[in-house]
């Protein structure tokens, strides 16, 4: 099963989750993991499972305004993410073509409070994937302790296990 994991990350938390998901998937599947800035939407063609993730900002996917604020804050870190200046997932979806057979999964990183309070970027990602014709088999949130991180204890392993489960089911509904 050829799998592509695409992520947007400003503080490194979502990148860490994407890498852990890819590790779990990679135990039984051919998998690549790339930042949005490194992944032209055309690269998605021929993928058996597309896994897309991003941080939760203001109850959903990052917007240009929330991304700019986070990017400005991330620039203050000595080791900032390489795709801080790159495109946002919202813009990436604009170039994504339609499919009639694709399977996909969505994930996000968010604060560990009820979704009613924090929202979930995974829901917006799943919605956009469906609009492009994908059968979304799962969406899940991973917790960060603060907006800039770190990941909550155990979340990296939970992401790896989610990747294993996606691989075991072949991207069928979880």
pTM confidence score: 0.91
Residue 10 or residue 117, greater confidence? 117
Residues 2-169: name the CATH superfamily.
Flavodoxin domain (3.40.50.360)
Q: Which residues have C-beta within 8 Å of that of residue 86, sequence separation ≥ 6?
A: 8, 35, 36, 37
Average pLDDT on 71-93 reads 70
Average pLDDT on 137-159 reads 94
Give dist(CA 59, CA 115) in Å, integer.
Answer: 8
**Is 80 exceeded by the pLDDT of residue 34?**
yes
What pLDDT score was predicted for residue 140?
97
What pLDDT score was predicted for residue 79?
58
In Å, what is the CA distance from 29 to each residue of 34, 48, 66?
16, 10, 35
Domain residue ranges of the chain, discontinuous segments joined by +: 2-169
Residue 27 or residue 119, greater confidence? 119
């Amino acid at each position: 099963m050829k799998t592509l994991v695409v992520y947007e990350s400003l503080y490194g938390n979502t990148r860490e989750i994407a890498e852990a998901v890819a590790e779990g998937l990679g135990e039984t599947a051919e998998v690549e993991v790339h930042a949005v800035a490194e992944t032209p939407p055309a690269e998605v063609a021929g993928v058996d499972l597309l896994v897309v993730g991003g941080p939760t900002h203001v109850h959903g996917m990052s917007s240009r305004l929330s991304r700019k604020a986070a990017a400005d804050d991330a620039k203050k870190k000595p080791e900032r993410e390489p795709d801080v200046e790159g495109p946002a997932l919202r813009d990436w979806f604009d170039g994504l073509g339609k499919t009639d057979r694709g399977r996909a999964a969505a994930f996000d990183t968010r604060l560990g409070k009820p979704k009613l309070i924090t929202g979930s970027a995974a829901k917006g990602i799943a919605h956009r994937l469906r609009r492009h014709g994908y059968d979304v088999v799962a969406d899940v949130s991973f917790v960060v302790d603060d907006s800039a991180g770190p990941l909550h204890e155990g979340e990296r392993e939970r992401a790896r296990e989610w990747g294993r489960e996606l691989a075991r089911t072949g991207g069928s509904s979880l």
